[in-house]
Amino acid sequence: MKQRIGAKKLIAITSLGGALEFFDFTIFALFSVYIAEAFFPGDTHATKLINTFAVFAVGYFARPLGGLLIGHLGDKRGRKLSLLSSVNLLAIATLLTALLPGYQTLGWLAPVLLLVFRLLQGMAIGGEIPGAITFLVEYFHHKNPIPAIAMMLAGVTFGNVIASLIGYCLTAHLSHTQLVSYGWRIPFIIGSALGFIGYLIRRHLHETDIFVRIQALQALHRYPFISLLKTHKRQTLAAACLTALTTATIFLFLYIPTYSLTVLHREIHHAYWLSSICFVLIAIFTLIFGFLNKLYTPKRLITSACMGSFILAIIGPEFLHLHDGLAIFCALLAIVVSAANSCYTYWISQLFPTAMRNTGIAVAYNVGVAFFGALSPLFFTASHQYFHTNKTPFIFLALCALITLTALFLSKQRDRSA
């Protein structure tokens, strides 16, 4: 089947859908302070945050299940169906979250329903990035797909940027009471509307020729996940660990508003601005490093990012003693990690054959993100509350850099050119 969509338009479609999904999922973390008061009243401030981040974590633990189910659809029914399913499910779950009454109206049922909707959101986003990566790798199989993947990931990052900017605007113009009452719902309503638009846009995609070919040859696996466990256990584990560094960095940037308010005791809307700048830097430098892959192999870029991040993590606490030290640290980290962000998903994609690629990427990527990312804000908040230390994020970053570096050298790349 001939592809009837140009390369630039295809990248734009996959990027837009991913950006919309990351926007929807990011706003929960950014507005956690206000969601905590709306759904967990009566507790101490720290307990409210811990409860809210626990709900946030549950959404991420749902990602592997969603990735498995949507990845199965991608490997059995086609890449297009997986992309449509993820964005549609997320739009519905986000709208339900926006319309959900708080604790004062529904009582204990309010946080329970919030948890359910987070599970649906997590399942949806669990299929998004793996589906987009699979689609682009197969679409550009005849040439180097890394620039296209870097462009997609840069576009996805702007979902975080938009969410952060909305957070900045709302916190700067609405009072704390207004934000708890209705302000936090505004970005969820916007996100759900954009999600449905993303679904309509993706309907114009066509199936990849590689999938059509193996489907015609009847080379598909009946149960891709079972085949994955039988033949690619080591690759799956290595791929999951490869997500550690980028995942830790993203969550550090999402945690900045909470960290600034509860640990550094600074104005929160400035932290939203800093978070936005960090994501802009990641988007820009992911693009730059994506086009530098002709000069530097993915292995070299990922290795450099791990080493640079480890060094920054070791000296990171010293930045807090400087004026605007947190901003300087985050900017440097964003630039360094972008080297890995531009190509690590391509490296992961080459660990799996076509017939189980979508499932393999989905399982590995989401298990890694759930493990390294979901617990991080909960861990950071609890550590500060009970152990009174502000160094936990830096220790976590250093460990994740070492884990990614180890996984890189233990993984066996299928692509000789990488």
For residue 416, tell me if it sits in a domain: no
**1 confidence band (pLDDT: 50, 70, 90):** very low
For residue 390, tell me if it sits in a domain: yes
For residue 415, tell me if it sits in a domain: no
Q: Please count the structural domains in the chain.
A: 1
pLDDT at residue 2 greater than cutoff 50? no
What would the two tokens of residue 32 be? 């956690």
Residues 312, 395 contacting (CB under 8 angstroms): no
For residue 328, tell me if it sits in a domain: yes
For residue 418, tell me if it sits in a domain: no
Report CA torsion sign: 298, 7, 155, 141. negative
pLDDT value at residue 272:
73
Q: Which of 21-30, 185-194, 327-336, 378-387 has the lowest mean pLDDT?
A: 378-387
For residue 220, tell me if it sits in a domain: yes
**268 confidence band (pLDDT: 50, 70, 90):** low
Helix, strand counts (H, E) of the chain? 22, 0
For residue 234, tell me if it sits in a domain: yes
What would the two tokens of residue 199 be? 């679904």
Residues 127-165: tens digit of each pLDDT: 888 998 999 999 888 888 898 899 888 888 888 788 878
Q: Which of 149, 331, 350 is nearest to 238 (CA)?
A: 350
Residues 5-32: tens digit of each pLDDT: 677 778 877 887 778 767 876 787 778 7
What is the Cα–Cα distance from 234 to 351, expressed in whole angstroms?
10
Out of 102-106, 220-224, 365-369, 379-383, the most confident range is 365-369
Q: What are the DSSP calls for 209-266, one per residue?
A: HHHHHHHHTT---SSHHHHHHHH-HHHHHHHHHHTHHHHHHHHHHHHHHHHHHHTS--
Range of the domain at 265: 7-410
Residue in this structure with the two tokens 């797909």, named with its chain if needed: 145
pLDDT at residue 415 greater than cutoff 60? no
Give the CATH number of the domain where residue 40 resides. Answer: 1.20.1250.20
How many whole angstroms from its chain centre is CA 206?
25
For residue 2, tell me if it sits in a domain: no
